[in-house]
Structure 1
Amino acid sequence: MQFGFSSYSFYQHLRDGRMTLLDVIDWIAESDATHMEIATVSLSPEISNDTSTLDQDPAFVEAIRDRAAERGVTLSNLVVPADLLGSGAEASMARLKRHIDVAAELGISLFRHDVAPWGMKARDVAEFEELMPRMVAASKELARYAAQYDITTSVENHGLLMNGGERVRRLIHLVDEPNFKTTLDVGNFLSVDDNAVVSTALNAPLASIVHLKDFYIRDSFPGDGWHHTPGGKYLLGAIVGYGDLDMRRIVEGIVASGYDGFVSIEFEGIEDALVGAERGLTNTMRLFSEATEAAA
């Protein structure tokens, strides 16, 4: 297992200029982590609007590649939002392909894309079924494009439409490409009131990379900043191991599946990002060590 971070974990410091992405690489190199995945939204001023121009900045791409190589940090995954169902689907597809080219230039072997914006949802299962062929076709096209670079593409259980363990598994089954898997985010299942323990265990065999995150969970409105789920729960990002997810059982499910790849901590809490990253990494490594020993 290789433990590391999503650049998204450092968004607080990236947004206000306290750190650059190169500084993040340095920080990771000096920790016990071994890899970093690049989330393009972490390079944008607004977390809800990806305006990154990584695909138009070859000098920056070269600087990232060189710094990571110098510091011994593996670049594991490139994470790019997209809307492949709306009126801008053609432009989104072209942008994703440009970013797959960037991933190849960076020596990154994994690429995660969305199929729909975070807030899009189907009114009912019939509407979801109508959308499925378009999601399948777009994901297949991207997987085949990435295959020329030996890059594995993936969809994350993210947002309100392509989320929930069963929906993700169905998409992977229907795309039916050997290099198409899932970026498995253990916390995002809660955004659609899915059972994180069960869905993690079922989806782990199909994972190209795992996101470990935690949430505080409440049944009534606690105040500003909490995310409201369709089922009436309220979520707030937490340091891994500090929140209300059953993280031990979640990690046990990952270990039991035989998964042995990249694990990225994705911190999105209100505590300082560096505190969240440091303590989250410590807890993550302890949880996986305990689960591995118990399974032996």
Structure 2
Amino acid sequence: MRVSVSMYSLNPTIKKENWSVLDFLEYAKRISSDGVELLDMYWRNKDDKFKEIKQVKAALKEHNLAVSAYDITNNFVKQSSEERMEEVEKVKEGIKVAKQLGTNIIRVFAGDLRNGITYQSGKEWIVDCLKQCAVIAEEKEIYLAIENHGLLAGKSEQIEEIIERVNSSYVKATFDTGNFLLVNEMPREAFDRLKEKIVHVHFKDFREKHPNESVKGFQSTEGVGLIGTIPGDGQVDLSYIVDGLKGVHYDGWLSIEYEGIEDAKHATTEAVNRLMTLVN
């Protein structure tokens, strides 16, 4: 297993210091990460991203970094077929970018909780859209790795159902260790359900918000306040998951995705160091 860092871990720094993807790659090299996870939201010119991608590929080679995954910010839970087709096209475009970047994994979402739409009412849209995307993914041999993200399809049983209904060897899971806490599911139990379907891992952790704490955090579906932490300082049993991945002979990437309130550069560096110790 190799350790990666998601560019999203540095989101506060990216905004504050106006980082480009190239700036992020220099940081990843400094902290001795094996690879990087890149996102569609960070291209400077989204209408002409391939010129920037050429520069990024050169920097990846210079820094001896691999791309663990390319992340698409999609949402298949849209009420009109035209809107859903736009989301499908985002994923198809992402497959082209992933090929350029040399990764065979695209992180995708299912959809967001909105306008009274539930998982039950939206899952047919999700499955149908993923089936369309899977046709191209299979042709290009790119995995579509569904993240347990948000409150609509964040439970392991929902991710399992979607994967099984799409029924493609190229539609699997991005296992986000922390996000299960947002839907009041323990990461250990979620791992036991999904462990054979994982092709990408986000290492993230949360702790419960203290009663008098005024900082902004997250809220679970049962109203529990959560604050992002450096992995190992929260509620996620990281050793259980790493040992479990070894047990199923997982040989893919473990990618840090920090979403806490500490300095992002310091916290992400510490997270990478801790994960490398766990893996080794």
Question: What amino acid maps onto 2:242 in structure 1?
Answer: V
The Cα shift of 1:22 comes to: 0.8
Q: Contact (CA 8 Å) 1:215, 1:243: kept in 2 or not?
A: yes
1:120 to 106, 114, 119: 114
Structure 1 residues 230, 73: closer, same or farther in 2, change over 3 A? same
Higher deviation after alignment, 95-104 or 70-79: 95-104
Q: Contact (CA 8 Å) 1:120, 1:160: kept in 2 or not?
A: no
Alignment partner, residue 26 of structure 1:
26
Query: What does residue range 108-257 of structure 1 map to in structure 2 within 5 Å?
Result: 108-117=103-112, 119-120=113-114, 128-218=119-209, 220=211, 222-257=213-248
Q: 1:36 and 2:41 equivalent?
A: no
1:80 to 67, 72, 75: 72
Q: Secondary structure at the match of 1:223?
A: coil
The Cα shift of 1:122 comes to: 6.5
The Cα shift of 1:160 comes to: 0.8
CA distance in 2, matches of 1:267, 1:128: 26
CA distance in 2, matches of 1:55, 1:103: 16
Deviations 1:218-247 (A, max 9, x none): 475732302111112111111111223232
TM-score when normalising by structure 1 = 0.86
- Over the matched positions of the two proteins, sequence identity in percent amounts to 25
Q: 1:286 and 2:270 equivalent?
A: no
Q: 1:107 and 2:102 equivalent?
A: yes
The Cα shift of 1:162 comes to: 1.2
| Contiguous gaps of at least 5 residues in structure 1 | 45-51, 290-296
The Cα shift of 1:55 comes to: 5.7
CA distance in 2, matches of 1:140, 1:221: 47
Coordinate RMSD, CA, aligned: 2.1
Q: Secondary structure at the match of 1:3?
A: strand
CA distance in 1, matches of 2:46, 2:62: 20
Alignment partner, residue 95 of structure 1:
90
The Cα shift of 1:215 comes to: 1.0
The Cα shift of 1:18 comes to: 5.1
CA distance in 2, matches of 1:122, 1:245: 30
Structure 1 residues 219, 275: closer, same or farther in 2, change over 3 A? closer
TM-score when normalising by structure 2 = 0.91
Q: Secondary structure at the match of 1:13?
A: helix
Higher deviation after alignment, 164-173 or 55-64: 55-64
Q: Contact (CA 8 Å) 2:4, 2:256: kept in 1 or not?
A: yes
The Cα shift of 1:255 comes to: 2.7
1:67 to 59, 62, 71: 59
